[in-house]
Amino acid sequence: MSALLELRDLTIDYRSRRGLVPAVRGVNLTLEAGQTLGMAGESGCGKSTLAMSVLRLLPKTAVIGGEVLLDGEDVRTMSFGRLRAVRWAGASVVFQGAMHALNPVLRIGDQLAEPITLHGGAGAKSNSPADVQRAVGELLERVGLPRRHAKAYPHELSGGQKQRVMIAMALACGPRLVIADEPTTALDVMVQAQVLKLLGELVSESGIGLMMISHDLSVLAQTCQRLAVMYAGRMVELGPSAQVMHQPAHPYSKALAAAFPTVGDPASRMAPQGLPGDPPDPTNLPGGCPFHPRCPVSTVECESTDVLLRQADPEHQAACVRVPENVTETAGEPV
Ligand X SMILES: Nc1ncnc2c1ncn2[C@@H]1O[C@H](COP(=O)(O)OP(=O)(O)OP(=O)(O)O)[C@@H](O)[C@H]1O
* Cα atoms in the Cβ-side hemisphere of radius 13 Å centred on 334: 8
* Cα atoms in the Cβ-side hemisphere of radius 13 Å centred on 73: 14
By the 10 Å C-beta count (0-12 exposed, 13-18 middle, 19+ buried), 304 is classed as: exposed
Among the listed residues 93, 92, 57, 47, the one whose alpha carbon sits nearest the alpha carbon of residue 78: 57
Q: What is the CA radius of gyration of the chain?
A: 21
The residues in 39-98 that bind ligand X, with binding defined as CB under 6 A, are: 41, 43-49, 59, 61
**Closer of 12 and 139 to ligand X (Cβ):** 12
**Closer of 46 and 121 to ligand X (Cβ):** 46
Determine, following the binding rule CB under 6 A, whether residue 16 of this chain makes contact with ligand X.
yes
Nearest approach, Cβ of residue 123 and ligand X (Å): 33
Question: Between vectors from CA 312 to CA 307 and to CA 314, what angle results, nearest 5°?
Answer: 130
Nearest approach, Cβ of residue 48 and ligand X (Å): 3
Q: CB–CB of 53/62 below 8 Å?
A: yes
**Closer of 14 and 153 to ligand X (Cβ):** 14
Nearest approach, Cβ of residue 284 and ligand X (Å): 11
Using CB under 6 A, which of the segments 38-46, 79-87, 99-107, 186-194 binds ligand X? 38-46
Nearest approach, Cβ of residue 285 and ligand X (Å): 11
The residues in 212-241 that bind ligand X, with binding defined as CB under 6 A, are: 215
Helix (DSSP H) and strand (DSSP E) numbers for the chain: 10, 12
Give the 3-state secondary structure of residue 81. helix
Cα–Cα distance for residue pair 195/201, rounded to 1 Å: 10
Q: CB–CB of 177/5 below 8 Å?
A: yes
Number of residues that bind ligand X (CB under 6 A): 16
CA distances from 322 to 27, 28, 224 (A): 21, 21, 26
**Closer of 49 and 311 to ligand X (Cβ):** 49
Among the listed residues 6, 5, 9, 3, the one whose alpha carbon sits nearest the alpha carbon of residue 331: 9
**Closer of 41 and 109 to ligand X (Cβ):** 41
Determine, following the binding rule CB under 6 A, whether residue 292 of this chain makes contact with ligand X.
no
**Residue 29, H or E segment:** strand 19-31
Nearest approach, Cβ of residue 202 and ligand X (Å): 23
**Closer of 62 and 139 to ligand X (Cβ):** 62
Give the 3-state secondary structure of residue 158. coil
Q: CB–CB of 135/124 below 8 Å?
A: yes
Question: Which of 14, 33, 67, 286 is the binder for ligand X (CB under 6 A)?
Answer: 14
Determine, following the binding rule CB under 6 A, whether residue 282 of this chain makes contact with ligand X.
yes
**Closer of 61 and 299 to ligand X (Cβ):** 61
Per-residue contact track with ligand X, 142 to 161, x per CB under 6 A?
--------------------
Nearest approach, Cβ of residue 213 and ligand X (Å): 7
Nearest approach, Cβ of residue 20 and ligand X (Å): 9
Using CB under 6 A, which of the segments 16-24, 69-77, 194-202, 251-259 binds ligand X? 16-24
Give the 3-state secondary structure of residue 26. strand
Nearest approach, Cβ of residue 1 and ligand X (Å): 30
**Closer of 43 and 326 to ligand X (Cβ):** 43
Residues that bind ligand X (CB under 6 A): 14, 16, 21, 23, 41, 43-49, 59, 61, 215, 282
